Amino acid sequence: MDVRAVVVIGDHSDGNSQSPYALADVLGKAVVFRVVEQLQSRDIHDVTVITDVACEKWPTGTAAHGSWIHAPGEQLWKSIEHTFDALVQNGAEIVLVLRLGTYTELDYHNLLRFHVARHPHITSVVDSHGVPLGIYAISASRRNHAAQLFRHRFQQLRCTCEHFLFDGYTNHLSSPNHLRQLAIEGLMQRIQLRPEGEQVKPGVWIGRGAQVHKRARVLGPSFIGAGSRVRAAAVVTRCTALEHHTVVDCGTVVENTTTLPYTYLGAGLDVTHSVVGHSKLYNLKRGVEVEFSDPRLVGQASSRAPLRAAGSLLALASFFPAQLLRGLFASSQRECPASLPEAIATPAAALESTAPIKAKTAPAVDAGEFPANLVIARRYGNE
């Protein structure tokens, strides 16, 4: 049986903002790539991806994941219809059409067996509540039914269709919370989605070319994407996913967070329960998004390797001359003694004066609260 597939990403006319999440990386690979690979693993090798998202926003590696078509605006739905007709003319017997927003781990063999056994014009996949998941199996002989479905943007059918019930894992990918949840489920190995990297110790995956400083700490379950940098004294912990080419600077703690590709986190930060990328931070607990104007706190590196290398060289070139001038011209704050015996005999300045001691009654503190002057240090691990 000749089965082809069309994956649709886009159309925000109904307030749907799914496409950025369908194209986003989760544990080292874009969601759309994982869906295409699911289809190809079921011997559905002819996959066409149609999207209204600009080409420069496509994830790297589209050539290895089906044929991609850019169809902006109203051209999106016309392109879907024309692609369906072309696939049928080239011999397709059944065309699977997926409007990618919801991520599912559907067994497409079961769907095709159901469709062939029932002989419907169109089979629609629904969840346990009867809500359509945007996945359709369409017989090649039913072009008019397919055209009706596309022209009404999957909202209206020309006739009744069969419903294929799917009660497996689904993630609607309509918010940063859903994106974060998908990463957590993958790190906890509760679903088929797996991190793209080598598991260097239980629960810790590191992608190709990633560098973790010997004085940094990575506690599982965590994922360090390809080409990422985790610098000295940084801590990565508790289901954190650093997508490719993320930089975590010295002393920064990243906990239960997803960073989008090419994200820079400055030194000495404490980033928790968030999705970070494009110089923005979305806090999942408070539902608040913050944009940073200072790239030294949260920034975005260039996606082009030569520009990233040039930036590193420029920073290095400006660092050494500044340190050299500082060493040559900075005045010393210490007074050298005339001789070693004199230095030993001279009492310390702190011992010559006694600081006054004032008695102060500490205010009563509620047992359930910490006093304002108490410093709390967070410990990770057992070292």
User: Do both 160 and 294 map to the same domain?
Assistant: no
User: Do both 113 and 219 map to the same domain?
Assistant: no
Q: What is the pLDDT of residue 120?
A: 86
User: Do both 199 and 156 map to the same domain?
Assistant: no
Whether 354 shows a pLDDT value over 80: the answer reads: no
Rounded average pLDDT over 189-209: 96
Rounded average pLDDT over 90-111: 94
User: Do both 166 and 199 map to the same domain?
Assistant: no
Distance CA 379, CA 383 (A): 9
Report which secondary-structure segment, H or E, holds 190.
none
Range scoring the smallest mean pLDDT among 127-131, 183-187, 324-328, 357-361: 357-361
Q: What is the pLDDT of residue 63?
A: 86
User: Do both 125 and 17 map to the same domain?
Assistant: yes
Report which secondary-structure segment, H or E, holds 322.
helix 305-329
Q: What is the pLDDT of residue 38?
A: 94
> Residue 264: helix, strand or coil by DSSP?
strand
Within a domain: residue 309?
A: no
What residues contact 14, with CB distance under 8 A and at least 6 apart? 153
> Residue 297: helix, strand or coil by DSSP?
coil
Structural domain for 248, as ranges: 193-300
User: Do both 240 and 141 map to the same domain?
Assistant: no
Distance CA 236, CA 200 (A): 14
- Confidence band of 156 (pLDDT split at 50, 70, 90): confident
Within a domain: residue 97?
A: yes
User: Do both 129 and 236 map to the same domain?
Assistant: no
For the chain, what percent of residues have pLDDT higher than 90? 63
Pairing of strands 132-139, 94-99: antiparallel
Q: Phi then psi for 29, rounded to 5 degrees?
A: -150, 140
Q: At 105, which CATH number?
A: 3.90.550.10
User: Do both 199 and 144 map to the same domain?
Assistant: no
Pairing of strands 263-265, 298-300: antiparallel
User: Do both 16 and 145 map to the same domain?
Assistant: yes
What residues contact 288, with CB distance under 8 A and at least 6 apart? 282
Within a domain: residue 128?
A: yes
Kindly tell me the sign of the dihedral angle through the C-alpha atoms of 8, 9, 10, 16: positive
User: Do both 123 and 17 map to the same domain?
Assistant: yes
What residues contact 374, with CB distance under 8 A and at least 6 apart? none
β strands within 209-259, DSSP E: 211-212, 217-218, 222-224, 229-230, 235-237, 240-242, 247-248, 253-259
β strands within 21-149, DSSP E: 25-26, 29-30, 47-51, 67-70, 94-99, 103-104, 122-126, 132-139
Q: What is the pLDDT of residue 69?
A: 95
Within a domain: residue 252?
A: yes
- The total domain count for the chain is 2
Q: At 245, which CATH number?
A: 2.160.10
Whether 189 shows a pLDDT value over 80: the answer reads: yes
- Confidence band of 342 (pLDDT split at 50, 70, 90): low
Q: What is the pLDDT of residue 175?
A: 92
Distance CA 45, CA 96 (A): 12
User: Do both 220 and 272 map to the same domain?
Assistant: yes
Could you tell me the pTM of the whole model? 0.78
**Residues of the chain by 3-state class (helix, strand, coil), percent to 5:** 25, 25, 45
User: Do both 134 and 213 map to the same domain?
Assistant: no
Q: What is the pLDDT of residue 337?
A: 54
